Amino acid sequence: MEINPFSRIISGTMTWGAWGRQFSTSQMHALIEETVALGIHTFDHADIYGGYTTEAEFGRAFQQSSVSREAVQFITKCGIQFPCEARPVPVRHYDYSAAHIRMSVENSLRRLRTDYVDLLLLHRPSPLMDAKSIAKEILKLQEEGKVKQFGVSNFTASQMQLLQKEIPLAWNQLEFSITHESSFFDGTLDHMNVHGIGAMAWSPLGCYFKENTPQKERVKQVLLPLCETYTCSEDQLLLAWLLFPPASIYPVVGTTSAARLQKSLEATKITLKITDWFLLLEASMGNPLP
């Protein structure tokens, strides 16, 4: 069995470029080195980030850094055809044809200035997926050494089963947080545990810091006293809640602040009491468990 190479906290790059902070090459270079120095050595990408520009900006910055390629892991995703200046398609859609997968991987390798990606994910499920065609192309890319591991993102149990008939899946990256906990109950995580598919969580803090909703207020009433109990911040406790289950969920943290990345790492050392974990779950759901 292959040893999991990924850091317990994964650095998400979606907002590093045009879709967020618009960092210069030197700023990205500095953040890469700071992130790795903290002990976070896995970087999460997607071809569409920044309208197909962020991977190339990251690749330039990484090439100028002192970090070796062997010391880090690159995750990327493909499949979404995103209408923008770089790709003027008439409608947002998903393409998992062999030709598009091949083109996407070759483009990501060129932009990231690397010979391989450690993990390739299909970004979102498509009703037009042809499992046999996808598997055939992915296996070719793996044989060529261009893709180390293969997985999916935002797939349900049945959608994973469709692909698993033809090719093993290593990971599924899901929207998962205290405010988006449905994967605990809809069979997705159960299926992944049974089949040895690792779990990554995008938006691991959910909408807690983004929206004022009744759900957020319920969670906050429970969370703030617990922060005092565990001597930590709200974001740290939300990550600790996500890290607690035996499913071993790997958060993809989107912050561009080295200080907040450090706090995220410190959250891995917090061990909740089982009753506190369920108190937060109950607050999120708005009613007691059956």
| Whole-angstrom distance, CA of residue 150 vs CA of residue 163 | 11
250 counts as catalytic: no
The catalytic position among 49, 52, 96, 250 is 49
Sort strands 249-253 and 147-153 into parallel, antiparallel or unpaired. Answer: unpaired
**Sequence-separated contacts (24+) of 160-164 with Cβ below 8 Å:** 160/191, 160/192, 160/195, 160/197, 161/191, 162/129, 162/131, 163/122, 163/129, 163/131, 163/134, 163/135, 164/195
Q: N- to C-terminal Cα distance for the chain?
A: 38
- Report CA-CA distances (Å) from 270 to 154, 181, 233, 277: 27, 20, 11, 12
Instruction: List the catalytic residues.
Output: 49
